[in-house]
Amino acid sequence: MVQSVSAPKAAGTTGGGAWPTIGVSVVIFGLRPRGDSHELVVLLVRRESAPFAGLWALPGGWVHNGEGLEEAARRHLLTKTGLHATYLEQLYTFGSPDRDPREHRIAVAYYALVPGDPVGLAIGKREARWFSVEALPKRLAFDNHEILRYALWRLRNKVGYADVAFQLLPKNFTLSQLREVYEVILNRKLDPTNFRRKVEASGTIVPTSSRVEGGAHRPPRLYRCARRRSQPEFTPRS
Amino acid sequence: MVQSVSAPKAAGTTGGGAWPTIGVSVVIFGLRPRGDSHELVVLLVRRESAPFAGLWALPGGWVHNGEGLEEAARRHLLTKTGLHATYLEQLYTFGSPDRDPREHRIAVAYYALVPGDPVGLAIGKREARWFSVEALPKRLAFDNHEILRYALWRLRNKVGYADVAFQLLPKNFTLSQLREVYEVILNRKLDPTNFRRKVEASGTIVPTSSRVEGGAHRPPRLYRCARRRSQPEFTPRS
DNA sequence: CCAGTTTGAGTAAAGGTGACCTTAACTATT
DNA sequence: AATAGTTAAGGTCACCTTTACTCAAACTGG
Protein backbone atom coordinates (compact mmCIF):
# COMPACT_ATOMS: atom_id res chain seq x y z
CA MET A 1 0.00 0.00 0.00
CA VAL A 2 2.77 2.33 -0.86
CA GLN A 3 0.88 5.14 -2.44
CA SER A 4 2.50 8.27 -3.68
CA VAL A 5 0.38 11.23 -4.53
CA SER A 6 2.91 12.77 -6.84
CA ALA A 7 2.54 11.29 -10.25
CA PRO A 8 5.58 10.83 -12.45
CA LYS A 9 5.93 14.07 -14.29
CA ALA A 10 8.89 14.55 -16.54
CA ALA A 11 10.89 13.42 -13.61
CA GLY A 12 14.62 13.02 -14.15
CA THR A 13 16.40 15.98 -12.73
CA THR A 14 13.29 17.32 -11.12
CA GLY A 15 12.64 15.98 -7.70
CA GLY A 16 9.06 15.16 -8.47
CA GLY A 17 9.48 11.77 -10.12
CA ALA A 18 8.67 9.19 -7.52
CA TRP A 19 8.25 6.27 -9.87
CA PRO A 20 9.67 5.20 -13.18
CA THR A 21 7.66 5.99 -16.29
CA ILE A 22 6.78 3.44 -18.90
CA GLY A 23 6.82 3.18 -22.67
CA VAL A 24 6.93 0.63 -25.45
CA SER A 25 9.53 0.03 -28.16
CA VAL A 26 8.88 -2.06 -31.24
CA VAL A 27 11.41 -3.92 -33.32
CA ILE A 28 9.79 -4.22 -36.74
CA PHE A 29 11.19 -6.92 -38.98
CA GLY A 30 10.61 -7.04 -42.69
CA LEU A 31 12.00 -8.68 -45.80
CA ARG A 32 13.55 -6.55 -48.54
CA PRO A 33 14.64 -7.68 -52.01
CA ARG A 34 18.36 -7.54 -52.47
CA GLY A 35 19.75 -8.68 -55.77
CA ASP A 36 18.02 -11.93 -56.65
CA SER A 37 17.53 -12.68 -52.97
CA HIS A 38 16.19 -10.97 -49.87
CA GLU A 39 17.56 -9.56 -46.67
CA LEU A 40 16.20 -9.12 -43.19
CA VAL A 41 15.55 -5.49 -42.35
CA VAL A 42 14.37 -3.52 -39.34
CA LEU A 43 12.61 -0.20 -39.27
CA LEU A 44 14.20 2.71 -37.45
CA VAL A 45 13.05 6.29 -37.03
CA ARG A 46 15.23 9.34 -36.72
CA ARG A 47 15.04 11.16 -33.41
CA GLU A 48 14.30 14.84 -33.79
CA SER A 49 14.76 16.08 -30.26
CA ALA A 50 16.97 15.46 -27.29
CA PRO A 51 18.13 13.16 -25.98
CA PHE A 52 20.00 11.42 -28.79
CA ALA A 53 18.67 13.92 -31.34
CA GLY A 54 19.60 12.88 -34.86
CA LEU A 55 20.28 9.29 -33.96
CA TRP A 56 18.21 6.40 -35.20
CA ALA A 57 15.89 4.72 -32.75
CA LEU A 58 13.23 2.06 -32.50
CA PRO A 59 9.69 3.30 -32.98
CA GLY A 60 7.79 3.57 -29.76
CA GLY A 61 6.46 5.91 -27.14
CA TRP A 62 4.23 6.21 -24.19
CA VAL A 63 1.68 3.84 -22.83
CA HIS A 64 -1.50 5.68 -22.06
CA ASN A 65 -3.38 5.14 -18.90
CA GLY A 66 -5.99 2.50 -19.51
CA GLU A 67 -4.27 1.20 -22.59
CA GLY A 68 -2.97 -2.36 -22.85
CA LEU A 69 0.68 -2.88 -23.67
CA GLU A 70 0.15 -4.70 -26.95
CA GLU A 71 -2.46 -2.13 -27.83
CA ALA A 72 0.08 0.62 -27.26
CA ALA A 73 2.65 -1.19 -29.36
CA ARG A 74 0.14 -1.55 -32.20
CA ARG A 75 -0.76 2.12 -31.94
CA HIS A 76 2.81 3.32 -32.19
CA LEU A 77 3.48 0.87 -34.98
CA LEU A 78 0.57 2.21 -36.97
CA THR A 79 0.89 5.93 -36.33
CA LYS A 80 4.63 6.06 -36.84
CA THR A 81 4.90 3.77 -39.82
CA GLY A 82 1.43 3.08 -41.19
CA LEU A 83 2.19 -0.60 -41.03
CA HIS A 84 -0.03 -3.42 -39.88
CA ALA A 85 1.89 -6.18 -38.23
CA THR A 86 0.58 -9.69 -38.63
CA TYR A 87 2.65 -10.85 -35.73
CA LEU A 88 3.41 -9.02 -32.53
CA GLU A 89 5.07 -10.56 -29.53
CA GLN A 90 6.36 -9.18 -26.30
CA LEU A 91 10.12 -9.43 -26.12
CA TYR A 92 11.49 -8.21 -22.84
CA THR A 93 11.17 -5.30 -20.48
CA PHE A 94 14.22 -3.11 -20.19
CA GLY A 95 14.34 -1.16 -16.99
CA SER A 96 17.86 -0.06 -16.29
CA PRO A 97 17.65 3.31 -14.49
CA ASP A 98 20.25 4.91 -16.76
CA ARG A 99 18.90 3.82 -20.12
CA ASP A 100 17.30 7.24 -20.51
CA PRO A 101 19.47 10.16 -19.37
CA ARG A 102 16.47 12.26 -18.46
CA GLU A 103 14.62 9.99 -16.12
CA HIS A 104 14.02 6.42 -15.19
CA ARG A 105 11.95 5.15 -18.05
CA ILE A 106 11.05 1.51 -18.46
CA ALA A 107 10.57 0.16 -21.95
CA VAL A 108 8.45 -2.87 -22.72
CA ALA A 109 9.92 -4.11 -25.98
CA TYR A 110 7.90 -5.90 -28.63
CA TYR A 111 8.91 -7.32 -31.94
CA ALA A 112 6.73 -7.38 -35.01
CA LEU A 113 6.78 -9.10 -38.38
CA VAL A 114 5.28 -7.41 -41.42
CA PRO A 115 4.46 -9.42 -44.53
CA GLY A 116 5.34 -8.86 -48.13
CA ASP A 117 7.86 -6.35 -49.41
CA PRO A 118 7.26 -3.31 -47.25
CA VAL A 119 9.16 -0.90 -49.41
CA GLY A 120 6.76 2.00 -49.28
CA LEU A 121 6.15 3.38 -45.84
CA ALA A 122 3.14 5.48 -45.08
CA ILE A 123 5.19 7.50 -42.69
CA GLY A 124 4.11 10.72 -41.13
CA LYS A 125 6.45 13.60 -40.63
CA ARG A 126 9.14 11.49 -39.11
CA GLU A 127 12.03 10.21 -41.12
CA ALA A 128 11.90 6.43 -41.18
CA ARG A 129 14.07 3.89 -42.93
CA TRP A 130 14.60 0.19 -43.27
CA PHE A 131 18.07 -1.02 -42.27
CA SER A 132 19.58 -4.37 -43.04
CA VAL A 133 20.30 -6.19 -39.82
CA GLU A 134 23.80 -6.66 -41.20
CA ALA A 135 24.36 -2.96 -41.63
CA LEU A 136 22.86 -1.16 -38.70
CA PRO A 137 23.95 2.32 -37.69
CA LYS A 138 26.89 2.24 -35.32
CA ARG A 139 25.10 4.20 -32.67
CA LEU A 140 21.44 4.00 -31.80
CA ALA A 141 19.49 5.99 -29.27
CA PHE A 142 19.10 4.72 -25.71
CA ASP A 143 19.77 1.01 -25.29
CA ASN A 144 18.15 0.25 -28.60
CA HIS A 145 21.15 -1.64 -29.87
CA GLU A 146 20.75 -4.11 -27.09
CA ILE A 147 17.03 -4.45 -27.68
CA LEU A 148 17.65 -5.09 -31.33
CA ARG A 149 20.31 -7.65 -30.63
CA TYR A 150 17.95 -9.47 -28.34
CA ALA A 151 15.10 -9.32 -30.83
CA LEU A 152 17.28 -10.82 -33.50
CA TRP A 153 18.44 -13.54 -31.18
CA ARG A 154 14.86 -14.35 -30.25
CA LEU A 155 13.68 -14.39 -33.84
CA ARG A 156 16.49 -16.72 -34.86
CA ASN A 157 15.67 -19.03 -32.00
CA LYS A 158 11.97 -18.92 -32.52
CA VAL A 159 12.08 -19.72 -36.19
CA GLY A 160 13.58 -23.05 -35.21
CA TYR A 161 10.60 -24.33 -33.29
CA ALA A 162 7.62 -22.10 -34.10
CA ASP A 163 5.81 -21.24 -37.30
CA VAL A 164 6.66 -17.65 -37.49
CA ALA A 165 8.27 -17.35 -40.88
CA PHE A 166 4.96 -17.16 -42.79
CA GLN A 167 4.34 -13.83 -41.20
CA LEU A 168 6.98 -12.31 -43.44
CA LEU A 169 5.43 -13.72 -46.61
CA PRO A 170 2.29 -13.01 -48.60
CA LYS A 171 -0.71 -15.26 -48.14
CA ASN A 172 0.38 -17.76 -50.76
CA PHE A 173 3.98 -18.71 -51.23
CA THR A 174 6.22 -21.34 -52.71
CA LEU A 175 8.42 -23.58 -50.67
CA SER A 176 11.45 -21.83 -52.11
CA GLN A 177 10.22 -18.53 -50.80
CA LEU A 178 9.58 -19.99 -47.38
CA ARG A 179 12.98 -21.59 -47.37
CA GLU A 180 14.57 -18.33 -48.30
CA VAL A 181 12.96 -16.66 -45.30
CA TYR A 182 14.54 -19.27 -43.08
CA GLU A 183 17.87 -18.86 -44.81
CA VAL A 184 17.81 -15.11 -44.42
CA ILE A 185 16.87 -15.25 -40.77
CA LEU A 186 19.27 -18.01 -39.87
CA ASN A 187 21.93 -16.69 -42.21
CA ARG A 188 22.82 -20.07 -43.69
CA LYS A 189 21.82 -22.26 -46.59
CA LEU A 190 19.31 -25.04 -46.13
CA ASP A 191 18.92 -28.19 -48.17
CA PRO A 192 15.82 -27.74 -50.37
CA THR A 193 14.81 -31.38 -50.21
CA ASN A 194 15.20 -31.77 -46.47
CA PHE A 195 13.49 -28.47 -45.85
CA ARG A 196 10.54 -29.57 -47.91
CA ARG A 197 10.18 -32.83 -46.08
CA LYS A 198 10.44 -31.23 -42.68
CA VAL A 199 7.92 -28.49 -43.25
CA GLU A 200 5.53 -30.85 -45.02
CA ALA A 201 5.70 -33.27 -42.13
CA SER A 202 5.08 -30.54 -39.60
CA GLY A 203 1.64 -29.92 -41.02
CA THR A 204 1.93 -26.17 -40.79
CA ILE A 205 1.39 -25.57 -44.49
CA VAL A 206 -1.36 -26.61 -46.87
CA PRO A 207 -0.85 -27.07 -50.62
CA THR A 208 -2.87 -24.91 -52.98
CA SER A 209 -4.13 -26.08 -56.33
CA SER A 210 -2.33 -23.31 -58.16
CA ARG A 211 1.23 -23.08 -59.33
CA VAL A 212 3.54 -20.31 -60.39
CA GLU A 213 3.98 -20.39 -64.17
CA GLY A 214 6.51 -18.55 -66.19
CA GLY A 215 9.75 -19.43 -64.49
CA ALA A 216 12.54 -21.03 -66.46
CA HIS A 217 12.03 -24.25 -64.56
CA ARG A 218 9.41 -26.65 -63.32
CA PRO A 219 6.48 -24.60 -61.99
CA PRO A 220 6.36 -24.66 -58.18
CA ARG A 221 3.22 -25.27 -56.21
CA LEU A 222 1.78 -22.53 -54.03
CA TYR A 223 1.17 -23.17 -50.36
CA ARG A 224 -0.55 -21.33 -47.57
CA CYS A 225 -0.24 -21.41 -43.82
CA ALA A 226 -2.38 -24.11 -42.24
CA ARG A 227 -3.69 -22.08 -39.35
CA ARG A 228 -3.61 -18.42 -40.14
CA ARG A 229 -2.83 -15.91 -37.45
CA SER A 230 -0.49 -18.10 -35.55
CA GLN A 231 0.14 -16.34 -32.30
CA PRO A 232 2.70 -17.07 -29.62
CA GLU A 233 2.32 -20.62 -28.29
CA PHE A 234 1.44 -19.36 -24.87
CA THR A 235 -0.24 -15.99 -24.86
CA PRO A 236 -0.85 -14.45 -21.49
CA ARG A 237 -4.08 -12.59 -21.89
CA SER A 238 -3.25 -9.79 -19.53
CA MET B 1 8.57 13.27 -28.79
CA VAL B 2 5.02 12.22 -28.33
CA GLN B 3 4.59 14.26 -25.24
CA SER B 4 0.89 14.38 -24.81
CA VAL B 5 0.04 17.02 -22.29
CA SER B 6 -3.49 15.93 -21.85
CA ALA B 7 -2.92 12.66 -20.18
CA PRO B 8 -5.80 10.31 -19.68
CA LYS B 9 -6.30 10.28 -15.97
CA ALA B 10 -9.10 8.53 -14.15
CA ALA B 11 -6.24 6.90 -12.38
CA GLY B 12 -7.74 5.03 -9.54
CA THR B 13 -8.00 6.80 -6.27
CA THR B 14 -5.10 9.14 -6.78
CA GLY B 15 -6.04 11.97 -9.00
CA GLY B 16 -2.57 12.61 -10.29
CA GLY B 17 -1.85 9.41 -12.21
CA ALA B 18 -1.30 10.36 -15.79
CA TRP B 19 0.55 7.21 -16.68
CA PRO B 20 0.37 3.62 -15.57
CA THR B 21 2.37 2.74 -12.50
CA ILE B 22 4.79 -0.12 -12.35
CA GLY B 23 5.63 -2.92 -10.00
CA VAL B 24 7.23 -6.35 -9.91
CA SER B 25 5.79 -9.74 -9.01
CA VAL B 26 7.92 -12.75 -8.25
CA VAL B 27 6.97 -16.38 -8.66
CA ILE B 28 9.22 -18.22 -6.21
CA PHE B 29 9.64 -21.93 -6.87
CA GLY B 30 10.98 -24.32 -4.31
CA LEU B 31 11.13 -28.04 -3.59
CA ARG B 32 9.42 -29.45 -0.54
CA PRO B 33 9.70 -33.00 0.83
CA ARG B 34 6.49 -34.94 0.57
CA GLY B 35 6.46 -38.51 1.73
CA ASP B 36 9.59 -40.13 0.37
CA SER B 37 9.60 -37.76 -2.58
CA HIS B 38 9.37 -34.03 -3.24
CA GLU B 39 6.87 -31.63 -4.70
CA LEU B 40 7.13 -28.33 -6.49
CA VAL B 41 5.91 -25.43 -4.39
CA VAL B 42 5.45 -21.70 -4.85
CA LEU B 43 5.49 -19.02 -2.22
CA LEU B 44 2.44 -16.84 -1.72
CA VAL B 45 1.76 -14.06 0.76
CA ARG B 46 -1.56 -13.12 2.26
CA ARG B 47 -2.88 -9.71 1.35
CA GLU B 48 -3.77 -7.60 4.35
CA SER B 49 -5.44 -4.64 2.70
CA ALA B 50 -7.72 -3.89 -0.20
CA PRO B 51 -8.01 -4.78 -2.97
CA PHE B 52 -8.28 -8.55 -2.63
CA ALA B 53 -7.70 -8.36 1.13
CA GLY B 54 -7.34 -11.81 2.62
CA LEU B 55 -6.51 -13.49 -0.67
CA TRP B 56 -3.16 -15.03 -1.46
CA ALA B 57 -0.91 -13.20 -3.85
CA LEU B 58 2.54 -13.31 -5.36
CA PRO B 59 5.16 -11.38 -3.45
CA GLY B 60 6.06 -8.12 -5.11
CA GLY B 61 5.68 -4.41 -4.98
CA TRP B 62 6.87 -1.15 -6.32
CA VAL B 63 9.85 -0.36 -8.41
CA HIS B 64 11.66 2.63 -6.98
CA ASN B 65 12.92 5.40 -9.13
CA GLY B 66 16.49 4.65 -10.06
CA GLU B 67 16.15 0.98 -9.22
CA GLY B 68 16.68 -1.76 -11.79
CA LEU B 69 13.88 -4.24 -12.35
CA GLU B 70 15.81 -7.30 -11.30
CA GLU B 71 17.13 -5.33 -8.36
CA ALA B 72 13.58 -4.55 -7.33
CA ALA B 73 12.56 -8.17 -7.68
CA ARG B 74 15.48 -9.25 -5.48
CA ARG B 75 14.58 -6.63 -2.91
CA HIS B 76 10.98 -7.74 -2.60
CA LEU B 77 12.07 -11.36 -2.57
CA LEU B 78 14.42 -10.71 0.32
CA THR B 79 12.35 -8.35 2.42
CA LYS B 80 9.13 -10.29 2.12
CA THR B 81 10.53 -13.77 2.49
CA GLY B 82 14.14 -13.57 3.63
CA LEU B 83 15.09 -15.84 0.76
CA HIS B 84 18.04 -15.58 -1.56
CA ALA B 85 17.27 -16.81 -5.03
CA THR B 86 20.07 -18.46 -6.96
CA TYR B 87 18.18 -17.97 -10.16
CA LEU B 88 16.04 -15.05 -11.19
CA GLU B 89 14.66 -14.54 -14.67
CA GLN B 90 12.25 -12.10 -16.14
CA LEU B 91 9.05 -13.80 -17.19
CA TYR B 92 6.65 -11.42 -18.84
CA THR B 93 5.15 -8.02 -18.34
CA PHE B 94 1.45 -7.96 -17.60
CA GLY B 95 -0.16 -4.68 -18.45
CA SER B 96 -3.87 -5.14 -18.85
CA PRO B 97 -5.54 -1.93 -17.65
CA ASP B 98 -8.04 -3.79 -15.49
CA ARG B 99 -5.71 -6.15 -13.70
CA ASP B 100 -5.75 -3.82 -10.71
CA PRO B 101 -9.17 -2.36 -9.87
CA ARG B 102 -7.67 0.81 -8.39
CA GLU B 103 -5.53 2.01 -11.23
CA HIS B 104 -3.60 0.94 -14.27
CA ARG B 105 -0.66 -0.85 -12.79
CA ILE B 106 1.81 -2.77 -14.87
CA ALA B 107 3.55 -5.76 -13.36
CA VAL B 108 6.90 -7.03 -14.54
CA ALA B 109 6.84 -10.66 -13.50
CA TYR B 110 9.95 -12.62 -12.54
CA TYR B 111 10.36 -16.17 -11.49
CA ALA B 112 12.92 -17.38 -9.01
CA LEU B 113 14.34 -20.72 -7.95
CA VAL B 114 15.53 -21.24 -4.40
CA PRO B 115 17.76 -24.19 -3.54
CA GLY B 116 17.49 -26.81 -0.84
CA ASP B 117 14.46 -27.41 1.31
CA PRO B 118 13.20 -23.93 2.10
CA VAL B 119 10.94 -24.97 4.91
CA GLY B 120 11.68 -22.18 7.35
CA LEU B 121 10.89 -18.74 6.08
CA ALA B 122 12.39 -15.67 7.64
CA ILE B 123 9.19 -13.82 7.05
CA GLY B 124 8.39 -10.40 8.42
CA LYS B 125 4.95 -9.52 9.63
CA ARG B 126 3.23 -10.86 6.54
CA GLU B 127 1.73 -14.28 6.48
CA ALA B 128 3.54 -16.36 3.90
CA ARG B 129 3.14 -19.99 2.87
CA TRP B 130 4.38 -22.50 0.41
CA PHE B 131 1.71 -24.03 -1.80
CA SER B 132 2.05 -27.11 -3.93
CA VAL B 133 1.55 -26.19 -7.55
CA GLU B 134 -1.00 -28.98 -7.63
CA ALA B 135 -3.06 -27.47 -4.82
CA LEU B 136 -3.14 -23.75 -5.29
CA PRO B 137 -5.85 -21.59 -3.74
CA LYS B 138 -8.87 -21.28 -5.98
CA ARG B 139 -8.72 -17.54 -6.07
CA LEU B 140 -5.62 -15.42 -6.10
CA ALA B 141 -5.32 -11.64 -6.04
CA PHE B 142 -5.14 -9.67 -9.30
CA ASP B 143 -4.16 -11.75 -12.33
CA ASN B 144 -1.74 -13.77 -10.27
CA HIS B 145 -3.25 -17.06 -11.32
CA GLU B 146 -2.38 -16.29 -14.89
CA ILE B 147 1.13 -15.23 -13.99
CA LEU B 148 1.62 -18.42 -12.06
CA ARG B 149 0.29 -20.53 -14.87
CA TYR B 150 2.66 -18.89 -17.26
CA ALA B 151 5.62 -19.28 -14.89
CA LEU B 152 4.92 -22.97 -14.54
CA TRP B 153 4.63 -23.36 -18.28
CA ARG B 154 7.92 -21.56 -18.77
CA LEU B 155 9.72 -23.58 -16.13
CA ARG B 156 8.49 -26.84 -17.61
CA ASN B 157 9.63 -25.76 -21.04
CA LYS B 158 12.93 -24.40 -19.89
CA VAL B 159 13.93 -27.48 -17.98
CA GLY B 160 13.88 -29.31 -21.28
CA TYR B 161 16.64 -27.34 -22.90
CA ALA B 162 18.44 -25.34 -20.22
CA ASP B 163 20.24 -26.24 -17.04
CA VAL B 164 17.99 -24.71 -14.46
CA ALA B 165 17.18 -27.74 -12.36
CA PHE B 166 20.39 -27.47 -10.31
CA GLN B 167 19.14 -24.24 -8.90
CA LEU B 168 16.63 -26.13 -6.82
CA LEU B 169 19.27 -28.44 -5.33
CA PRO B 170 22.12 -28.01 -2.87
CA LYS B 171 25.64 -27.59 -4.21
CA ASN B 172 26.33 -31.29 -4.40
CA PHE B 173 23.70 -33.75 -5.44
CA THR B 174 23.21 -37.26 -6.72
CA LEU B 175 21.83 -38.09 -10.12
CA SER B 176 18.73 -39.48 -8.46
CA GLN B 177 18.10 -36.16 -6.80
CA LEU B 178 18.56 -34.32 -10.05
CA ARG B 179 16.29 -36.73 -11.84
CA GLU B 180 13.67 -36.28 -9.20
CA VAL B 181 13.73 -32.53 -9.77
CA TYR B 182 13.01 -33.14 -13.42
CA GLU B 183 10.28 -35.62 -12.59
CA VAL B 184 8.61 -33.23 -10.19
CA ILE B 185 8.75 -30.32 -12.60
CA LEU B 186 7.65 -32.31 -15.63
CA ASN B 187 5.24 -34.41 -13.60
CA ARG B 188 6.24 -37.72 -15.13
CA LYS B 189 8.68 -40.53 -14.50
CA LEU B 190 12.00 -40.62 -16.31
CA ASP B 191 14.14 -43.62 -17.07
CA PRO B 192 17.11 -43.48 -14.68
CA THR B 193 19.54 -44.95 -17.20
CA ASN B 194 18.57 -42.72 -20.09
CA PHE B 195 18.52 -39.71 -17.83
CA ARG B 196 22.03 -40.44 -16.66
CA ARG B 197 23.32 -40.82 -20.18
CA LYS B 198 21.71 -37.65 -21.37
CA VAL B 199 22.84 -35.41 -18.56
CA GLU B 200 26.34 -36.90 -18.57
CA ALA B 201 26.63 -36.28 -22.29
CA SER B 202 25.45 -32.70 -21.95
CA GLY B 203 28.49 -31.79 -19.92
CA THR B 204 26.56 -29.70 -17.46
CA ILE B 205 27.53 -31.71 -14.40
CA VAL B 206 30.90 -32.72 -12.99
CA PRO B 207 31.43 -35.83 -10.83
CA THR B 208 32.77 -35.34 -7.34
CA SER B 209 35.09 -37.78 -5.63
CA SER B 210 32.69 -38.30 -2.77
CA ARG B 211 29.71 -40.57 -2.50
CA VAL B 212 26.74 -40.81 -0.24
CA GLU B 213 27.18 -43.67 2.23
CA GLY B 214 24.61 -45.18 4.46
CA GLY B 215 21.81 -45.96 2.06
CA ALA B 216 20.51 -49.47 1.79
CA HIS B 217 21.96 -49.70 -1.70
CA ARG B 218 25.04 -49.03 -3.73
CA PRO B 219 26.40 -45.61 -2.68
CA PRO B 220 25.73 -42.99 -5.31
CA ARG B 221 28.32 -40.53 -6.53
CA LEU B 222 27.88 -36.83 -5.81
CA TYR B 223 27.93 -34.36 -8.67
CA ARG B 224 28.05 -30.63 -8.93
CA CYS B 225 27.01 -28.18 -11.63
CA ALA B 226 29.72 -27.63 -14.20
CA ARG B 227 29.35 -23.89 -14.46
CA ARG B 228 27.87 -22.52 -11.31
CA ARG B 229 25.54 -19.55 -11.47
CA SER B 230 24.06 -20.48 -14.78
CA GLN B 231 22.05 -17.51 -15.87
CA PRO B 232 19.58 -17.17 -18.71
CA GLU B 233 21.19 -18.05 -22.01
CA PHE B 234 20.75 -14.53 -23.25
CA THR B 235 20.73 -11.93 -20.55
CA PRO B 236 19.93 -8.41 -21.61
CA ARG B 237 21.99 -6.23 -19.35
CA SER B 238 19.52 -3.43 -19.15
C1' DC C 1 16.04 -29.85 -79.48
C1' DC C 2 19.29 -29.20 -76.14
C1' DA C 3 21.26 -26.73 -72.03
C1' DG C 4 20.06 -24.95 -67.71
C1' DT C 5 17.13 -24.19 -64.01
C1' DT C 6 14.25 -25.45 -59.98
C1' DT C 7 10.80 -28.73 -58.32
C1' DG C 8 9.82 -32.75 -56.05
C1' DA C 9 10.80 -37.64 -54.59
C1' DG C 10 13.85 -41.17 -52.82
C1' DT C 11 17.77 -43.46 -50.26
C1' DA C 12 21.57 -44.48 -47.13
C1' DA C 13 24.59 -43.15 -43.28
C1' DA C 14 24.86 -40.93 -38.73
C1' DG C 15 23.20 -39.60 -34.46
C1' DG C 16 19.81 -39.29 -30.68
C1' DT C 17 15.93 -41.32 -27.91
C1' DG C 18 13.25 -44.77 -25.48
C1' DA C 19 12.61 -49.45 -23.72
C1' DC C 20 14.83 -52.96 -21.65
C1' DC C 21 18.56 -56.01 -19.56
C1' DT C 22 22.61 -56.83 -16.56
C1' DT C 23 25.94 -56.22 -13.07
C1' DA C 24 27.76 -53.63 -8.91
C1' DA C 25 27.54 -52.36 -4.21
C1' DC C 26 25.45 -51.65 -0.20
C1' DT C 27 21.87 -52.68 3.90
C1' DA C 28 18.47 -55.17 6.37
C1' DT C 29 16.49 -59.49 7.39
C1' DT C 30 16.42 -64.25 8.29
C1' DA D 1 26.50 -66.14 7.03
C1' DA D 2 23.55 -66.27 3.47
C1' DT D 3 19.95 -64.00 1.14
C1' DA D 4 16.58 -60.75 -0.29
C1' DG D 5 15.87 -55.97 -1.46
C1' DT D 6 17.38 -51.64 -2.98
C1' DT D 7 19.49 -48.22 -6.01
C1' DA D 8 23.76 -47.16 -8.93
C1' DA D 9 25.88 -47.56 -13.12
C1' DG D 10 26.78 -49.45 -17.51
C1' DG D 11 25.29 -51.69 -21.79
C1' DT D 12 22.35 -53.22 -25.95
C1' DC D 13 18.82 -52.89 -29.45
C1' DA D 14 14.99 -50.99 -32.12
C1' DC D 15 13.22 -46.84 -33.70
C1' DC D 16 13.04 -42.16 -35.22
C1' DT D 17 15.02 -37.90 -36.88
C1' DT D 18 18.43 -35.49 -39.23
C1' DT D 19 21.86 -34.93 -42.85
C1' DA D 20 23.99 -35.67 -47.16
C1' DC D 21 23.44 -37.15 -51.49
C1' DT D 22 21.29 -38.99 -55.99
C1' DC D 23 17.89 -38.74 -59.54
C1' DA D 24 13.85 -37.93 -62.38
C1' DA D 25 10.19 -34.26 -63.67
C1' DA D 26 8.84 -30.04 -65.78
C1' DC D 27 9.48 -25.84 -67.56
C1' DT D 28 12.04 -21.83 -70.41
C1' DG D 29 15.41 -19.71 -73.39
C1' DG D 30 18.63 -20.08 -76.94
> Could you say which nucleotides of strand D lie within 7 A of any protein CB atom?
5-12, 18-23, 25-29
Residue A48, chain B, CB below 8 Å: the answer is yes
Q: What is the mean pLDDT of residues B108-118?
A: 87
On whether the CB atoms of residues B49 and A1 are closer than 8 A, the answer is: yes
**Residue B50: its H or E element:** none
> Of B17, B69, B96, which has the smallest distance from its Cβ to A65's Cβ?
B17
- B98-127 residues touching A, CB cutoff 8 A: 99, 104, 106, 108
Nearest protein residue, CA measured to C1' of C23: B218
Nearest protein residue, CA measured to C1' of D10: B193
- pLDDT in the model for residue A23: 96
Predicted confidence (pLDDT) per residue in B174-206, tens digit: 999 999 999 999 999 999 999 999 999 998 999
* Mean pLDDT for back-to-back runs of 10 residues, chain A (238 residues): 38 57 96 89 92 94 95 91 88 96 96 78 73 96 97 94 91 94 94 95 91 87 80 62
> Of B18, B65, B106, which has the smallest distance from its Cβ to A7's Cβ?
B18
Q: Could you give the CA distance from residue B70 to residue A72 in angstroms, rounded to a whole number?
A: 24
Clarify whether B127 is annotated catalytic: yes
Predicted confidence (pLDDT) per residue in B82-93, tens digit: 888 889 999 999
Q: Is the CB of A161 under 7 A from strand D?
A: no
- pLDDT in the model for residue B125: 67
Q: What DSSP line would sit under B100-168, residue for residue?
A: SSSS-EEEEEEEEE--S---S----SS-EEEEETTS--S-BSTTHHHHHHHHHHHHHHHHHHS--GGGG
Residue B10, chain A, CB below 8 Å: the answer is yes
> A85 or B220: which carries more pLDDT confidence?
B220
Predicted confidence (pLDDT) per residue in B143-166, tens digit: 999 999 999 999 999 999 888 999
Q: Could you give the CA distance from residue B77 to residue B73 in angstroms, rounded to a whole number?
A: 6
- pLDDT in the model for residue A221: 95
Predicted confidence (pLDDT) per residue in B28-70, tens digit: 999 998 888 899 999 999 999 989 999 999 999 999 999 999 9
- pLDDT in the model for residue A2: 37
- pLDDT in the model for residue A227: 75
On whether the CB atoms of residues A97 and B68 are closer than 8 A, the answer is: yes
Contact A96 B68 (CB under 8 A): yes
Q: Is the pLDDT of residue B8 over 50?
A: no
Calculate how close chain B gets to A33, using CA atoms only, in Å: 30
